[in-house]
Structures are given as C-alpha cells and as structure tokens.
Structure 1
Amino acid sequence: MSDSDVLSRVVIREARPEDDVTIGELLISAYVTQYAKKLPEVVYTEERKRELRDVAARRAVATVMVAEVDGEVAGTVALFPPGAPGAEAWLPRMADLRGLATAVKFHGAGLAKPLLDAAHALARKWGVDSVGLHVRRGAEGVGRMYQRHGYVRVPEGDMSLPTVYLEAYQLSLK
C-alpha cells in the first residue's frame, strides 16, 4: 500500500467516546513498538499504559483527533488549549500537542502530516501564538520528524521529570 494511496483515503475527525479503547491501544502499541526499536531501555509501566488508555480523560480537557483510513482508526493526536489541566506548554499562549501516533500497520505511510495539519489548523482557530510539544531525550528521529514539520528545538521548555527528560519543540503560528 503506497503512501499516496493511504493519504488519498484518510479522513481526520474529532475522536468520539466509542474510539477511546482503540485510541488507547493504538498509543500503547505504537509507542512500545517504536521505542523498542530505537530506545530498548524504555519500559512502559502499567501506570503509564493506564494513562495512555485513559482517552476519555484527555478528551475532557483537550481535542483528540483521529485519522481514519477506510473507517479504521489509523492514527491520533491530542491538542490541549492553553491552561488546560495536564498541559505541558511552557508559554501562556501556547497549545500543547501530545500523543501523535499511528497504528503499527500504518507506520511510514505519512499520516503524521494530515494529523499535524489538523492540529495546527485548530490551534490557529483558537488564536494561540504557537504549538509546543515534548520528545523523550534520545528519540532523535521523532525530533527530526517534528522539525520537518516546522518545529524548532527550544531548550527553555525542556522538562526533567523523575523518570524521563523531555526535550521541547515549538511551532510559531504568528
């Protein structure tokens, strides 16, 4: 299946409650698969898996979007408005992009672009100045993918958490 074939059939829409289980499992599968290849030392705890599965809680405070291909949820992303509970934005007029992932069978099909385009369009609709996100230190390929979509590395937004160091990236919308 070629990238253009998949992309010609993709529909981006807001997630619905009936998508929650699929999105949660998609996130876990995508992250575990990708990190196992590139960062084998990363272990997803049961607590982290519970957080990823709690899509309903994310939908309560953020806009969760899905990419559908022929009616199948093939990818997802969440955008938190400024000040939303759980947002990791480091500037006051910044939306926080989280949880960009595609189903393993769609990895490499180019679904990140339409998902990011939809998130950026929503951020513009909200009137924010920028979109911020964090990438686990060591996941250089993920950082490069965001840079290809216009994000720049912004060390002042980095987060050092007890279990992980997250590097910040920002896309200016103004």
Structure 2
Amino acid sequence: MSIMFFLVFAVSSQIRKMACMNWVLTLLVIEGQILAIGLLVVKTNMLRLLIGFLVALILIVMSSLMAIFIPFDLTKYATMLFLVDFFLLVFCIYTITYLLILHLSWPFFLYAFIIVMLVLPIVMYHVQSVMGNGQERTGLKDDKLSALLLFHDFLALYMLTFYWRPTK
C-alpha cells in the first residue's frame, strides 16, 4: 500500500500542491515503509542491522557529497542513466538466478555490488535535481517528494542487510 501511495504522490502534481494531502501521503508512505521493514528487522541480527545501516548511510552521504561537488550535470543525461540502470537491473536478475538455482552464496555479493552501483547514480541524480544546478530542477512545492525519493534510495541500499545470509 505504501508503494501505491508513493506512486500516486509522485505522479500527481495536484496532490503534491494540496498542503494537507501532501503531508498525509508523505506520512503514510514513510510509516508504511517503516512498518514493512519492521517485519524484516525481527529476523535479522542486530549487528548486521547496525553494519547495514552505517554502510548505507556512508554510501548515501558520500554519493551526495560527490553529486554536490562534481561539475558534471547528471540531470542532463537522465535517459542514459536510467538505461544503464535498467541493464544493471537485468544483470541483477541473472545473479539472483545463480543464487537461487545453484544454491551458491557468492552471487549475493555480486548482486549487492550491482544494486549499489545501480542506486548510487540515482542518489546523485536526485541530489543534483534538489540542488537545482542542473537541467532538471525540483520545485519548492516538491520538497516532500524529494525527501521521499532520497528516503527510498536509502531503503534500497539498506534492504540488502535483510537478505544477507552467510552460509554456515
């Protein structure tokens, strides 16, 4: 439900302009995502949770700083960025196939690396569009949408923590 609310929120600019609906949908999306992750937290070791949180946080902060200081405008080449990300996603599906069918543990690390390489350029794209220095700019009315996009980018990296199951 949370993803559906986020999709409606992201697509409908009229809803984002309504102050009350803007806040309500933002809170519903965040709360729904946190509750869904809470179900996965119960099954995960606390040390892995902390390590995953710190790694995801460091990756987000480093990619945000890179996006701020690089002179290259990623927002100008959004189509190319999403095309490369699509091919990386297809490659991720093949690595999951190796993981599930062949019962190997090493493809998970390849999968995690590819997911990180898929998400970090998107984080940089979102940071540059929020900063407004590039071709694409996020408007002042879209502050909550920008926050939700970066929140979901963080979750995409943090979710890898819950599926890391080293073999015995």
Q: TM-score, normalised by structure 2?
A: 0.27
Select the structure with the greater relative contact order (CA < 8 A; seq sep ≥ 6): 2
Identify the structure with the greater helix proportion. Answer: 2
The structure with the larger Rg is 2
The TM-score normalised by the length of structure 1 is 0.26
